[in-house]
């Protein structure tokens, strides 16, 4: 089957072939009526010029209405040349049949370049009527080819009057909707209506054939010109609307782009503000955490210090002893613990008062701390008048020497208190071991405490080393 484009090409080739085939007949009869021939030639040239313009506009603008209008003009030209009173054919019957066919084709084409109406209640009705009339015209086009000329002419006239009245009504609707070119469209079909009325009256023999032919040329000239003007106005308005729509779309796109740019700018500003706030809050949090850590360290430090003597307390001693005992087991080094106790401390308190007793405790702690030789060594107040020393990586002999040095320093010095100068002695117990899994740090501490108890029981003011 032929495609849509091939069908159009075939139709145009047939029409152009028909026009060229009429030229020899025109030349043969050129001497019959020079005025008649000159008018026909001039009008034919006018229609061809407008037809070519319509085709060119279609290829330029892709507006299908221009192509339908060009087809309408071509059918008009074919109808004019196929009439029995025309100048193209000598065969009356054949030319009469063709005349009806081309006239119906004119009506078909005229249905398809009406003004584009705005959407309203009329639009759907007009589309339905248009589809119905298209079917009627196509059917009549086939039927009229086989009917007698008079009957075909009368049917075509009736159909054309109906269509023209419809076109005028559509034109008035377009005028009410302020569509450009509506006035010219109405004028064209009113002009055509008047001609059809004249043509109908002519069927009763009221006018001569020469008047009819001249009326046809005048009516078709006026209609062609007015329809061309209407299409030109419609095209101008459509182009203006298209440009306006495009311009509005560009403006909207520009506004959208500007809005997007502003939005991006706002987002960037907000993001920068948020990042600055996060950085500020992070810095504040870091400072707070650092201060909190320092406070915690300070509290931890304070929690491990004895408030009376300023040396480490029992809490620190327990942690330190556990840590050093584990290191001794890990490194297999000797760990030494010394337990010190002030002799007859209750007598000091009872005789000189508790304040003097506190002074004694402070000075004993100070003397013992001053004799420590390594940062890893530690002295702690174990409780009351008792002190405990932890000496990592130290043999029993080293522990004994440290305990003797402390005992001698305290014994040889008079301790100045609020109750006067006092002579004080201490007793000490020393225990050493290399940590193992069989015993714990508590066992080591108990050994040192037992050695201290033995020193107390055997006369005080002495150092005993645990076995």
Angle (CA) 255 259 262, round 5°: 140
Residue 412 lies in a domain: yes
How far apart CA 342 and CA 292 sit, in angstroms, is: 40
pLDDT tens figures, 37-82: 666 677 777 777 777 877 887 787 777 777 777 777 777 777 777 6
User: Tokens at residue 280, please?
Assistant: 């500020």
Smallest Cα–Cα separation from 145: which of 83, 78, 106, 94? 94
34-61 and 209-303 are packed helices; what angle lies between their axes, rounded to 10 degrees? Answer: 10
Residue 266 lies in a domain: no
The CATH code of the domain that includes 20 is: 1.20.1070
- Give yes or no: residues 241 and 376 share one domain: no
User: Tokens at residue 461, please?
Assistant: 């003011």
- Give yes or no: residues 247 and 359 share one domain: no
Greatest mean pLDDT among 9-23, 108-122, 237-251, 376-390:
376-390
The CATH code of the domain that includes 337 is: 3.30.70.270
- Give yes or no: residues 234 and 355 share one domain: no
Catalytic position from the list 385, 386, 397, 412: 385
3-state secondary structure of 419: coil
If 0-12 CB within 10 Å is exposed, 13-18 middle and 19+ buried, where does residue 353 land? middle
How far apart CA 305 and CA 71 sit, in angstroms, is: 113
pLDDT tens figures, 385-425: 999 999 999 999 999 999 999 999 999 988 888 888 899 99
Rounded (10°) CA dihedral 288, 290, 295, 301: 170
Query: Which of 229, 252, 275 is the C-terminal boundary of a domain?
Result: 252
The dihedral through the CA atoms of 393, 399, 403, 408 has a sign that is negative
**445: Cβ contacts below 8 Å, ≥ 6 apart:** 321, 337, 339, 388, 431
User: Tokens at residue 156, please?
Assistant: 């075509």
Alpha-helix residue ranges (DSSP H) falling in 83-120:
92-110
How far apart CA 341 and CA 253 sit, in angstroms, is: 93
Residue 143 lies in a domain: yes
385 assigned to active site: yes
Smallest Cα–Cα separation from 321: which of 437, 449, 441, 465? 441
pLDDT tens figures, 124-142: 777 887 788 778 877 877 7
- Give yes or no: residues 88 and 186 share one domain: yes
Residue 282 lies in a domain: no
Residue 449 lies in a domain: yes
Domain range for 136 is 4-252
Stretch (H or E) spanning 300: helix 209-303
Greatest mean pLDDT among 5-9, 28-32, 214-218, 414-418:
414-418
Query: Which of 209, 224, 252 is the C-terminal boundary of a domain?
Result: 252
If 0-12 CB within 10 Å is exposed, 13-18 middle and 19+ buried, where does residue 12 land? middle
User: Tokens at residue 196, please?
Assistant: 């059809």
Q: Sort residue 340 into left (φ over 0), alpha (ψ -120 to 50) or beta.
A: beta
- Confidence category of residue 93, pLDDT binned at 50, 70, 90: very low
3-state secondary structure of 335: strand
Greatest mean pLDDT among 34-38, 150-154, 167-171, 215-219:
167-171
- Give yes or no: residues 346 and 449 share one domain: yes
How far apart CA 422 and CA 417 sit, in angstroms, is: 7
Question: Contact at 8 Å (CB) between 429 and 466?
Answer: yes
How far apart CA 70 and CA 58 sit, in angstroms, is: 9
Q: What's the confidence (pLDDT) of residue 29?
A: 42
Check residue 120 and report its DSSP letter.
S
Question: Is pLDDT at 462 greater than 90 in this prediction?
Answer: yes
* Neighbouring C-alpha atoms within 13 Å toward the C-beta of 405: 14
Smallest Cα–Cα separation from 452: which of 428, 417, 431, 432? 428
- Give yes or no: residues 210 and 335 share one domain: no
How far apart CA 461 and CA 126 sit, in angstroms, is: 131
Residue 64 lies in a domain: yes
Smallest Cα–Cα separation from 118: which of 238, 31, 37? 238
Query: Which of 205, 233, 252 is the C-terminal boundary of a domain?
Result: 252
User: Tokens at residue 160, please?
Assistant: 């054309």
**183: Cβ contacts below 8 Å, ≥ 6 apart:** 175, 230
- Give yes or no: residues 230 and 343 share one domain: no
- Give yes or no: residues 55 and 173 share one domain: yes
- Give yes or no: residues 43 and 171 share one domain: yes
Check residue 458 and report its DSSP letter.
T
SS3 content of the chain, % helix, strand, coil (to 5): 70, 10, 20
Residue 262 lies in a domain: no
Q: What total number of domains does the chain contain?
A: 2
Residue 216 lies in a domain: yes
Mean pLDDT of the chain: 79
More confident residue, 11 or 341: 341
């Amino acid at each position: 089957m032929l495609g849509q484009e091939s069908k159009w090409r075939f139709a145009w080739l047939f029409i152009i072939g028909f026009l060229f085939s009429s030229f020899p007949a025109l030349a043969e009869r050129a001497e019959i009526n020079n005025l008649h021939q000159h008018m026909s030639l001039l009008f034919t040239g006018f229609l061809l010029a407008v037809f070519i313009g319509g085709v060119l506009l279609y290829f330029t603008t892709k507006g299908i209405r221009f192509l339908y209008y060009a087809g309408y003009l071509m059918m008009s030209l074919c109808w004019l040349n196929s009439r029995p009173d025309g100048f193209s054919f000598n065969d009356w019957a054949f030319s009469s049949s063709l005349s009806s066919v081309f006239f119906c084709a004119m009506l078909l084409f005229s249905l398809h370049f009406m003004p584009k109406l705005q959407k309203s209640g009329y639009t759907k009705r007009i589309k339905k009527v248009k589809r119905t009339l298209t079917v009627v015209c196509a059917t009549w086009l086939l039927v009229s080819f086989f009917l007698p000329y008079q009957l075909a002419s009368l049917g075509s006239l009736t159909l054309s009057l109906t269509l023209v009245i419809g076109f005028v009504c559509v034109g008035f609707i377009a005028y009410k909707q302020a569509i450009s070119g509506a006035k010219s469209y109405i004028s064209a079909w009113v002009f055509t209506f008047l001609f059809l009325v004249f043509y109908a009256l002519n069927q009763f023999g009221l006018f001569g054939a020469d008047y009819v032919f001249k009326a046809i040329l005048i009516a078709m000239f006026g209609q062609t010109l007015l329809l061309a003007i209407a299409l030109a106005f419609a095209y101008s308005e459509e182009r203006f609307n298209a440009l306006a729509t495009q311009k509005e779309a560009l403006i909207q796109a520009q506004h959208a782009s500007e809005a997007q740019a502003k939005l991006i700018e706002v987002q960037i500003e907000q993001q920068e503000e948020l990042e600055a706030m996060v950085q500020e809050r992070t810095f504040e949090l870091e400072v707070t955490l650092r201060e909190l850590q320092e406070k915690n360290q300070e509290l931890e430090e304070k929690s491990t210090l004895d408030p009376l003597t300023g040396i480490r307390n029992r809490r620190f001693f327990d942690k330190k002893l556990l840590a050093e005992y584990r290191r001794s087991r890990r490194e297999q080094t000797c760990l030494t613990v010394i337990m010190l106790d002030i002799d007859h401390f209750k007598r000091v308190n009872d005789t000189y008062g508790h304040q003097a007793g506190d002074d004694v405790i402070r000075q004993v702690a100070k003397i013992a701390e001053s004799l420590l030789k390594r940062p890893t060594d530690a002295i702690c107040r174990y409780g009351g008048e008792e002190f405990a020393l932890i000496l990592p990586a130290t043999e029993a002999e080293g522990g004994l020497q440290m305990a003797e040095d402390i005992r001698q320093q305290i014994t040889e010095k008079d301790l100045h208190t609020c109750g006067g100068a006092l002579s004080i002695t201490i007793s000490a117990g020393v225990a050493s071991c290399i940590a193992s899994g069989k015993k714990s740090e508590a066992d080591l501490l108990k050994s040192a405490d037992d050695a201290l108890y033995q020193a107390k029981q055997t006369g005080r003011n002495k150092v005993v080393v645990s076995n």
